Amino acid sequence: MLNFLLRRIAAGIATLVVALFLMYLLVDRAIDPLQDLIESTAPNKQQLIDQRIADLDLDVNVVVRFFQWFGNLLTGDLGTAWRSGRDVSDVLVHAIGSTLELVTASTLLAVLLGVTVGIVSALRQYSAFDYLIIFLSFLLFSLPSFWVAVLLKQWAAIGFNDFLRDPVVAWPVIIGASLVVGLLWSLAIGGTALRRLQVFGTAAAANVALLAYVQLTGWWERPQIGPVLLLVLGAGSAFAVVGVFAGLHNRRALWTALTVVVLGTVLYFPMQVVFDSVAESHWMIAGLGLLSAAIGYVVGRLYGGADWRLSARAGAAVAVVMGALIFVDQVMQVWGPYFKALSGRPIPTFGDRTPNLGGNYWVQVLDSFTHLALPTLTLVLIAFASYTRYSRSSMLEVMNQDYIRTARAKGLPERLVVVRHGFRNALIPLATVVPIDVITLLGGAIITEAVFARPGMGQLFVGSLDGAEIDPVMAYLLVTAFLAILANIIADIVYATIDPRIRLDA
């Protein structure tokens, strides 16, 4: 492993230097910092041109200028955006932060939803659900991102803000939506006609109950999860996690997950005091998340048994879900003042922050979430189609392999065949796709950022090119090239982690 990393790092550094040199030459050729002065009608036009040539060293050979820039880079100096006079490092930090928020949210959701739906679609091949997912995937894949973004601004932002003036959902709409949800679940689960009918009725009734709860309790005006809903959602996640990864027959894993749910519900009340008395930060929340996973793992270890590791992993996963629900509940508690501060229109259509908003940590987190909602949904809808198709085709290929037939011939349960033998191997092609997609998005979702006016990496690149500022452009290219090289190394490591047959030190 160490030899592999050293070789790849050395090759990556060499590639990065060559790429930066070539990019510097191309960018210098593409931009003209004197264009605005050449078109100027100022009486001292030539004097202004001479002054800018001297300020930007344009009379120096481009190769020499590259090595001057590269030498400054080695000392940590990324240069200056000469039009605004700001340090490139300051501009880059803000742009990376804005893009990281968007990329993290959209990638996690797209991978989770896309892979899950793709796997289910493959297992239900040639069913009505499979055909529905294929149609939806091709439809979303063919839609231009700017068109999706504009529609979301119109219906998901403006329409939802208008709905919040009088948030009442008609009962026929509730019933109709619940019937659709029940139908989708019955198609996804499959089985005999009786089983489908049972799934349909259960899912439709659960959806009616949930929407009725939202409607009758005035949830839209005072959104919160609370201990009761926390217990219900936690129990549902516990059964889902154990059912998929351990099987509901594994009583130790099931009791571990349910114990973690009860423990999380009990800790809900003291956590309110902790959040009110401690200075919150992202690092504190991350630490609490790790602590939650550790507690869930310990609970599984205490239940013991021959397969205690399976119980521990299930407990850790459910503990993270419970921690996330408590975090979301705490953010929801500041919805009232945030709603009033934005004059009853809490879903914004541009930017990444509300100017001069003020408020505590939770208000700032809620403001960040609302600004992320539309651009994240845009990227998720587009990426969902790709991940669904990748995971479906990969799972179909894996499930036709000889070792899958051997596992079934040995009498292993179908759940075990799918999760342990099929799912893990189906992830191998995604190990290439996901890191490259993440790096592409870190380079800036240029169209999405432009539609929603987010000051991310994409807008930094486009704005710097328009302004003929070579230092910000090169800083952007430095970051994207470095991350592209890093993504390839990570993909190789993930390969070896997923598939033991792959050896990095071969």
The answer to whether residue 506 scores a pLDDT higher than 60 is no
What pLDDT, on the 0 to 100 scale, is given for residue 502?
Answer: 64
Per-chain mean pLDDT for the chain: 86
Mean pLDDT of 87-91: 87
- In angstroms, the CA 477 to CA 461 distance is 9
Nearest CA to 305 out of 243, 248, 253 is that of: 253
Write the DSSP assignment of 460-472 as a string of letters. Answer: HHHHHHHTT-HHH
For the four alpha carbons of 298, 303, 308 and 310, in that order, the dihedral sign comes to negative
Residues 150, 214 contacting (CB under 8 angstroms):
no
Read off the pLDDT of residues 408-426 as tens digits, 9 standing for 90 and up.
Answer: 898 888 888 888 888 888 8
Q: Round to whole Å and give the CA distance between 13 and 491.
A: 17
Q: What's residue 52's pLDDT?
A: 84
* pLDDT for residue 352 is more than 70: yes
Taking 70 as the threshold, does the pLDDT of residue 90 lie above it? yes
Give the mean model confidence (pLDDT) for residues 243-248: 82
Please, are residues 24 and 66 in contact by the beta-carbon 8 Å criterion? yes
**Predicted pLDDT of residue 323:** 93
Q: Per-residue pLDDT averaged across 194-207, rounded?
A: 92
| Of 232-236, 272-276, 443-447, the least confident | 443-447
Confidence at 444, pLDDT banded by 50, 70, 90: low
Q: For residue 293, what pLDDT is reported? A: 93
| Closest C-alpha to 98, from 338, 385, 363, 448 | 448
Query: Is pLDDT above 90 for 107?
Result: no
Q: Which amino acid is at 447?
A: I
pLDDT of residue 197: 92
pLDDT at residue number 264: 93
Task: Please give the pLDDT value at position 220.
Answer: 85
Indicate whether 77 pLDDT > 90.
no
Model confidence at 277: pLDDT above 80: no
